[in-house]
């Protein structure tokens, strides 16, 4: 996905997501939270100024880590390198926010894995 111009892509949001069991125990939820903190710290330390880590949230079935970048393609490549080399939680999915002209809401273009057909924050 190539950005049309620097100004249009300045605030592109990238979401790194993984699925969680919505019926997880409190001890598993604590491990999930520790994994999120580890992922955020590692992404922040390894970003090389390419993106900023903006935070995370837990949803019913997913954990989402939010990043902002001016270069979505390079950021996705870097995220995949970081997860592989840092041995972070496998099974991530990556989505890129696409703002519509008529709304401030974002829809998400699936970016990884290649076979991912839909990406939602849910």
> pLDDT tens-digit profile of 2-21?
443 333 446 899 999 998 87
- Domain assignment present for residue 100? The answer is yes
Q: How many folded domains does the chain comprise?
A: 1
How far apart are alpha carbons 89 and 42 in whole angstroms? Answer: 12
- Domain assignment present for residue 81? The answer is yes
pLDDT of res. 102: 54
In terms of Cα–Cα distance, which of 10, 12, 55, 51 is closest to 37?
55
- Domain assignment present for residue 119? The answer is no
What range does the domain containing 53 cover?
A: 16-112
- Domain assignment present for residue 105? The answer is yes
- Domain assignment present for residue 76? The answer is yes
pLDDT of res. 118: 95
pLDDT of res. 22: 66
Which residues in the chain land under pLDDT 70?
1-10, 22-25, 27-29, 31, 99-105
- Domain assignment present for residue 122? The answer is no
- Domain assignment present for residue 26? The answer is yes
* pTM for the model: 0.82
């Amino acid at each position: 996905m190539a950005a049309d111009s620097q100004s249009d892509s300045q605030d592109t949001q990238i979401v790194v997501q993984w699925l969680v069991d919505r019926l997880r125990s409190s001890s598993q939820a604590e491990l999930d939270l520790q994994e999120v903190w580890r992922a955020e710290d590692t992404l922040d330390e390894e970003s090389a100024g390419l993106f900023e880590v903006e935070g995370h949230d837990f949803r019913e079935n997913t954990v989402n880590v939010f990043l902002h970048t001016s270069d979505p393609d390079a950021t996705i490549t870097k995220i995949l390198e970081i997860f592989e080399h840092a041995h972070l939680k496998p099974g991530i999915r990556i989505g890129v926010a696409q703002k519509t002209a008529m709304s401030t809401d974002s829809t998400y273009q699936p970016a990884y894995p290649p076979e991912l057909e839909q990406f939602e924050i849910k």
